[in-house]
Amino acid sequence: MTRATKRLNFAPASMLGLLLLLLLLDGPRAEQIDANDEEVDRFCYPTKHRNTRLSCECSNVSAAPWGMRALHIDCSYKDFKAEDLTGLLPLYIDTLDLSWNALDRAPVFSSDSLRLLNLMHNNISAIAANNFGHLASLRELYLSWNSIQQLDAQAFQNLPHLTVLSLEHNNLHTLPTQIFAPMLVLATLELSWNRQLNESIGQDVYRNFGINQKLQKLRLDACNLQELELPRTVPLEELSLRRNPFERVPSQLPGSLRSLDISENRLEHLMPEDTRHLSELRQLFVEDMPRLRSIAAHSLASLHALESLSFQNTRSLNYIDGNAFVAESGNQTLPPLKSIIFRGTLLRTFNATLSPVFGQLTELDLNGVPLNCDCQLVWLKSLNVQTNGRCLHPARIRGMLISSVRRDEFSCERWPRWIYGMIILGLIALCAAGVYLIVMGLRPHRGVTMRRKVGAGSPYARVTIEPNRQENVH
C-alpha cells in the first residue's frame, strides 16, 4: 500500500473527495506530509530505541469537525532524559505526554500545532526564559509534581493562547513579578502544594504577578497561606484554599465566586463574617476541619445562591445554630440549597427552625452522626430524603435508622435523669425509715420493765415451806 492510499483510508468516507482534490491541488503540501511521516517515525520509533520499551505510542485521531489529522504522542513512563528528545515535533502533533520520565529540565520544543504538553512527574527544577516560546498554539501546560524552585522572569513568554497552567506540587517560594502576564487568556492557574508559597502570595496577587483578570479557577491548596486578598471585582469562579492555616475565611475575595473550598483550615467557629461577601457562591466545602466546633447563628444566611454544602469529616463539629440560615434582620430567604453533607460530624441534634431549609433538600447525608433521637428531633422524620442518620440515644433505639424508628419512640424524658435518681434514693430512705420504725414499735416500752420489786405483795415473794407439824402429834 502506498502512503497516499494509507492516508485516504484514514479519512472518513465523506471527506474522501475533498481530500483527493486537496492532494491533487496541493502537491508541495503532500510532500510535506510524507516528510512528516518520517518525522513521526523518527520521534515515535527512534532507530536507537527500536524494539525497546523506549519507543512512544503515537496515535492518529481525526479531530472534529473537518476530520483533520491530530497526532497524540504518549511517551510516559520511559525514563527519558531531556537530551533524548528532539526539539522539532512532528506536524499535526496535538498532545504530547512526557509524564513519569527522568527529565531534569523542560525540553525546548517547537511546533505550530501542539495544544497540550504534559511534563508531570519529572525532576525539573527550573524553567528557563522563553522555554515554551516556540509552541505558538499551546493551550494547556502541566508542570506539576516536579521540583521546580526557579522560574525565570520570562519563563512563560510567548504563550498568548495558554488557558491552563499547572505548577502544583513543586517547590516554589518566590515568584518573579509579572510572571503570568504573558498569558493573556489564562483561565486556570494551579499553584497548590508549594508549601512555602506564603512567602510571595498574600496581598495584591493579581497585580503583582500579572494574573489575567478573567481567570476562572485558582487553586492554592497547602501553600501555608495565612492571609490572602483577591480583588473583589474579578470574575473568578472557583477558588480552592484547602489545607492552609487560615483562621477565618479571607475577607476580601471576589464576589463572583461560585465554588469555594476552605477545608482543612483552622477555623473554630463558622461566623457570619466568613460568608458575608459570598452571595454568588453555589458550592461551599468545609470538610476535614480539625478544629471547627460550631456553626454560629446567621453564618450561612448571606449565601443566597448556595446549592451544596459539605461539612464531611469535620470531626469536632457538634453544634449548628437553629438560626444559621436566618439573617440578622430576622429575614429568611431560602437559598436554592439541594445538598448538605454532615457525614462524620459530631452533631447530635438539629433545631426545628432548620426545617424550611432541610425540607427542600434532595440530599442530606447524616451517616455516622451520633443523633440524639428525642422529641426535639422528631421533625426530621417528616423529611422526604433518606438521610441514613441513626440514633445513638436513647439506648432502647440505639443504632436504628431514623426512618425506621416510630414517631412515638422519639420521646423526651420530662425530668432530667438525676431527679429519677433522687426519687429512688428518697424511696429507699423512706423504706429504711419505715423498717426502723416498725422494729422500734415492736420492742417493749422502756418504761414498762419486767423488773418488779420482790416484796410481800409480790407473787414472786419468798415462800417458806415449813414441815407439817400436824403429822407429828404424838
Ligand X SMILES: *[C@@H]1O[C@H](CO)[C@@H](O)[C@H](O)[C@H]1NC(C)=O
Binding-site ranges for ligand X (CB under 6 A): 3, 6-7, 10, 37, 40, 58, 60, 69, 102, 104, 123, 125, 198-199, 224, 322-323, 329, 331, 333, 351, 353, 376
Q: Which three cell numbers stand for residue 98?
A: 512526557
Q: Which three cell numbers stand for residue 128?
A: 528557563
Q: Which is nearer to ligand X, 41 or 280 (CB)?
A: 41
Q: Give yes or no for a contact between 306 and 281, defined as CB atoms under 8 angstroms apart.
A: yes
Report the amino acid identity of residue 69: R
Q: Which is nearer to ligand X, 154 or 351 (CB)?
A: 351
Q: Give yes or no for a contact between 405 and 411, defined as CB atoms under 8 angstroms apart.
A: no
Q: Which is nearer to ligand X, 104 or 273 (CB)?
A: 104
Cα–Cα dist 62/42, whole Å:
21
Cα–Cα dist 460/157, whole Å:
135
Q: Which is nearer to ligand X, 311 or 325 (CB)?
A: 325
Length of the chain: 474
Q: Which is nearer to ligand X, 116 or 187 (CB)?
A: 116
Q: Which is nearer to ligand X, 93 or 361 (CB)?
A: 93
Contact partners, residue 302, CB within 8 Å, separation at least 6: 272, 275, 276, 277, 278, 279, 327
Q: Which is nearer to ligand X, 195 or 217 (CB)?
A: 195
Minimum gap (Å) between residue 111 Cβ and ligand X: 16
Q: Which is nearer to ligand X, 57 or 363 (CB)?
A: 57
Minimum gap (Å) between residue 199 Cβ and ligand X: 5
223 bridge partner residues:
none
Cα–Cα dist 162/344, whole Å:
41
Minimum gap (Å) between residue 245 Cβ and ligand X: 7
Q: Which is nearer to ligand X, 30 or 181 (CB)?
A: 30
Q: Give yes or no for a contact between 260 and 241, defined as CB atoms under 8 angstroms apart.
A: yes
Long-range contacts of 133-138 (CB under 8 A, 24+ apart): 133/157, 133/158, 133/159, 134/108, 134/109, 134/110, 134/158, 135/109, 135/110, 135/111, 135/159, 136/112, 136/161, 137/111, 137/112, 137/113, 137/161, 138/114, 138/162
Cα–Cα dist 360/362, whole Å:
7
| Residue of 360, 323, 375, 316 whose CA lies nearest to 342 | 316
Bridge-based pairing state of the strands 116-118 and 93-97 = parallel
Minimum gap (Å) between residue 290 Cβ and ligand X: 16
Minimum gap (Å) between residue 340 Cβ and ligand X: 18
Q: Which three cell numbers stand for residue 206?
A: 493579581
Q: Which is nearer to ligand X, 226 or 386 (CB)?
A: 226
Secondary structure class of 168 (helix, strand, coil):
coil
Minimum gap (Å) between residue 108 Cβ and ligand X: 18
Q: Which three cell numbers stand for residue 191?
A: 499553584
